[in-house]
Structure 1
Amino acid sequence: MVAVSDRLVTVFGGSGFIGRHAVRALARRGYRIRVAVRRPDLAQYLMTAGAVGQVTAVQANLRYPDSVEAAVEGADAVVNLVGIMHQRGRNSFEAAQAFGAGAVARAAKAAGAAALVHVSAIGADKASASAYAVSKAKGEEAVLAAFPQAAVLRPSVVFGPEDDFFNRFAAMAQISPVLPLIGGGETKFQPVFAGDVAEAIAAGVDGRLAPGTTYELGGPDVMSFREVLEFVLKVTQRSRILLPLPFGVAGLLARVAQYAPKPPLTPGQVTLLRSDNVVSAKAAAEKRTLEGIGIAPASAAAEVPAYLWRFRKAGQFEKITA
């Protein structure tokens, strides 16, 4: 059993997809972890990620700075994982990813935290046509203005057992005979394993990342949108028609779909698909990548079949052919 230290890490958004992996990675290193979330009752499953009492949950909402300040009190390091893909009411991109990011950084600085790791996204750009990308860029700017030595992590599309990427397309293939290739399926991704992103976060808390530096995190393989869908169909043992869908048509459909309780597609996502989501050549050359940190990234081929089997017609009993 790992000995629990007296160093405390506050993790905002720790109950989310990447958060659960980050909490486990930090727990393995012996940190005490305070998970700051809007609904602590929904984060109770994280208590088993460490020893008894090592992981606790507290209430915090990035729209309310007082709750953020209370959550970071006494913390040696702070991690901000809060991010949303869909806007709903007061929970807007601006509130969660721009204002909220700045509130966490200011609170971390005031509390005397030694390290701050801020998780953003590849494609963050104030000049983007996507409100999501703009808010991510504004969040990074606010973080570095308040906490200049912070480490910023920009992952590509993150995958893992609970992802909303490979799982989403596999679920679509269960019920639809046709899968849309938005923009012709040429958009490129560099899917990165959630466990590897978590290790990069832990490296930042350990003090092994360069202060004030932005890292771009991608997996070992670059895949086009078409290749992603073909991979999902191969793993789930299904045959579906891949139908090219121009961006203009996809945008019109997204305007209607965005009002669904859990939208399958939004206009903002269509906009994001117009640009590749891969690690830049500059980041790779400057070793601001997983490999540069010393992490060998896992491939989708190695990890995804272990959780997409449930989308096969006979689940784990489906006969696998070469």
Structure 2
Amino acid sequence: MEKATISIIGVPLDLGQSRRGVNMGPSAIRYAGAVARLEAIGHNVIDEGDILVDAVERIESSDVGLKNLNEVIKANTKLAEQVEAAVTDGKFPLVLGGDHSIAIGTLAGLKKGYNNLGVIWYDAHTDMNTAETSPSGNIHGMPLAVCIGLGHDSLVNLHSEGPKVKTENIVIIGARSVDPGERALIEEKGIKVYTMHEIDRYGMSYVMEDAIAYLQSREVDGVHLSLDLDGLDPLYTPGVGTPVPGGISYRESHLAMEMLEDSGIITSAEFVEVNPILDEKNKTADVAVGLMGSLFGEKLI
């Protein structure tokens, strides 16, 4: 990756799901040395601080079945504005979560800057539920559906009207926990998914080469990486709210980031779902920062 001006935006939001603590994720990632790591590679890093998230008791929007809908909308609207400003200024937006519902704001903020944005969703989950299919009502399980135009109108039309990304420009990597409604939607929309089966059978090198070639064939003008730390096996990232055994290894994840860096296609990124309350000595945040290093061009030799 060429030396960039990286705009770090923290989003201490834990209202898109039901376990407290992920709001401390941005602080944990900073404490693990994110800024120093990126500066050591040679990038210019501007830490914009955290989006202000109102401290409220959890409520349920019983009329639509979505938990904390208004609070999620407020935080994501602020995030979208800040991401759009970063792109307009020629900066690389690097968003620190917070739960994965913040991807709604990130992708909304990116829409104006790209005509044909691609998305790599690195996650154990596909996050393609809607209010009708969600077993929980947790919005952090819905952001990818929202971004293709499915879900509550106030989420779909956040910051700008309509879908934020084309279904054919999405690649999901590492999926191993998929709800029935999500599975049906993925099949209906023809979204490209590499589950753990493909990673185990063909190897991460093949999967990333294929994913990168696929997005390039779509002639995307930028690619956003949305990386949920539960995409890795809980052995490496214990501090996540929805761990799923049998995930991507630490080394496979570094290889994936290194290959993305070599490809030069990544134009924005977010690292989400670090929960220090559930972590072991900030291990998960340390992994997040290590993966950032590989994504931004850190080399062993």
Note whether the superposition's TM-score is higher than 0.5. Answer: no
User: Which has the higher Rg, Structure 1 or Structure 2?
Assistant: 1
Where relative contact order (Cα < 8 A, 6+ residues apart) is larger, the structure is 2
Give TM-score, length-normalised by structure 1.
0.35
TM-score with structure 2 length normalisation? 0.36
